[in-house]
Amino acid sequence: MFENIDLSNNKRPSDPRFGSGPSLVPVEFMEKLLATGQDLLGTSHRKAPIKNLVKEVQDGLSKYFSLPDDYKVVLGNGGATFLFDMIGLGMVKKKSAHFTCGEFSEKWFKAHNKVPWIEAEQISVPYGKGIDGKNIADADMVCVTLNETSTGVQISKLPEVDNDTILAVDATSGGGQIPCDLSKTDLFFFSPQKVFASEGGLFVAIMSPKAYNRALEMAAGDRYFPVIMSWKLAINNSDKNQTYNTPAIASIFFLNEQIKLMNSVGYEKACEMAEEKAQLIYSWAAEKKYLSCYVEEEKYRSRSVATINVDESFPVTPLIDWLAEKKIAYGIDGYRKLGKNQFRIALFHNIKYDDLNKLLNIISQAIEAN
Ligand SMILES: Cc1ncc(COP(=O)(O)O)c(C=O)c1O
């Protein structure tokens, strides 16, 4: 079906990992890890080599995001999904308000909604639409998702919330390359297997004094939460450059390498690089009559994960399978539960503009030849 497409070396992307997460971990990072030999993996996370690594991550993120001095970078096990519960149990006093536009923002709402002693309100838009969030008078936490990975929707601005309300941002798939003033957020959290090119299983929670004081105040109260979800333990251990329980050292290592790489260009430039890739893919979709952007409103189109609809006359699945088989692109199908005839292509920092361009050329040739 696609046998006439030119896949010679200068026409194919240098790396097939265009999936929306886990993302492209540079092979050089793996080589660097290998070079640490007997010094890191298999050593205690309570001793200097790993604690220094954690400190580098914390300092590197503070620098990258220009964090105010009194913010804390808290690391722990479990990833963003784990945090959904940990936040609902340990940081919401009475009510959280959730602005949802897809699968992950809904998951977060559902996690809070299951906690019997708090209320959770959902304010939603249909999939493919964007929502920015706003203060909700009786909520003590407002929850927004920087980039909804399932639909390729990003928020266009941060909501302003009351002084005693926590603004919590799930930044899992956009944090680091979508512009965001973290000094205006209270809890900015992510799993590092997207823009930050690490492995899953870890969470990073960047907390303002309002957020950690809330968490510590609630920890001192009599509410029940599982010990593994203790904010107090997570915060106290992070203050000592540790995680509460044993982490995957390789994940912290990769995360640190990526932070160093991103600090070498800076946050502003990294956002510009993401913007360039977004312009490339969205203008490609606008040019081709058989393509369209799933997210109609431009300001909500993600600079991190692009969703592109394809005319129903060309079913995408055989092409997606062929691209994977030929090692051109892995995992570029739409989010499984959306069920759209769609490509979902990551624009994560390590994906090169030139590689994206090559992939788009191969896709258009394949569609046009059939
Ligand atoms: C926006 C968003 N939030 C949360 C998650 C869940 O992250 P994890 O699988 O690390 O728990 C994901 C995963 O893709 C995500 O994209």
CATH number for the domain spanning 347: value is: 3.90.1150.10
Scan for tokens 């769609």, then name that residue.
342
Task: Choose which residue among 87, 103, 146, 149 to substitute to test ligand 1 binding: the one with the highest number of ligand atoms within 8 A of its C-beta.
Answer: 149
Environment class of 13 (CB within 10 Å of its CB; exposed 0-12, middle 13-18, buried 19+): buried
Question: What's the rounded Cα separation, in Å, for the pair 90 and 87?
Answer: 5
What does the pLDDT read at residue 86?
98
Domain-ending residue, one of 198, 233, 265: 265
| 246 shares its domain with 138 | yes
Q: Which residue's alpha carbon is at the smallest distance from atom 4 of ligand 1?
A: 80
Question: What's the rounded Cα separation, in Å, for the pair 349 and 114?
Answer: 35
Scan for tokens 């990072």, then name that residue.
29
| 175 shares its domain with 276 | no
| Count of domains for the chain | 2
| 138 shares its domain with 227 | yes
Distance 21 CA to ligand 1 centre (A): 9
Ligand 1 cavity residues, CB under 6 Å: 21, 79-81, 104, 145, 149, 170, 172-173, 191, 200
**How many alpha carbons lie under 13 Å from residue 140 in its C-beta half-sphere?**
17
What does the pLDDT read at residue 246?
97
Examine residue 161 and state whether it is found in any structural domain, yes or no.
Answer: yes
What does the pLDDT read at residue 337?
87
| 304 shares its domain with 230 | no
Return the CATH number at 117: 3.40.640.10
Angle at alpha carbon of residue 102, lines to 281 and 357, rounded to 5°: 10
What does the pLDDT read at residue 137?
97
Question: What's the rounded Cα separation, in Å, for the pair 173 and 124?
Answer: 19
318 Rama class: left (phi>0) / alpha (psi -120 to 50) / beta: alpha
Examine residue 20 and state whether it is found in any structural domain, yes or no.
Answer: no
> Which two tokens mark 355?
């590689």
| 244 shares its domain with 333 | no
Q: Which residue's alpha carbon is at the smallest distance from atom 10 of ligand 1?
A: 79
| 271 shares its domain with 255 | no
> Alpha helix (H) ranges present in 4-45?
27-35
Distance 141 CA to ligand 1 centre (A): 20
Distance 195 CA to ligand 1 centre (A): 12
Q: What are phi and psi of 350, to 5 degrees?
A: -80, -5
Report the atom number in ligand 1 closest to the C-alpha of 84: 4
Distance (Å) of CA 80 to CA 11, 108, 264: 37, 9, 26
Q: Is the pTM of this model over 0.95?
A: yes
Question: What's the rounded Cα separation, in Å, for the pair 54 and 73?
Answer: 10
What does the pLDDT read at residue 336?
86
| 74 shares its domain with 92 | yes
Distance 46 CA to ligand 1 centre (A): 28
Domain-ending residue, one of 208, 235, 265: 265
Distance (Å) of CA 233 to CA 46, 62, 133: 14, 21, 30
Q: Which residue's alpha carbon is at the smallest distance from atom 15 of ligand 1?
A: 172
Examine residue 152 and state whether it is found in any structural domain, yes or no.
Answer: yes
Write out residues in the chain with pLDDT < 70, as ranges: none
Distance 43 CA to ligand 1 centre (A): 29
Instruction: Look up the domain containing 184 and give its range.
Output: 28-265
| 142 shares its domain with 240 | yes
* Residue 247, preceding peptide bond in cis (omega within 30° of 0): no
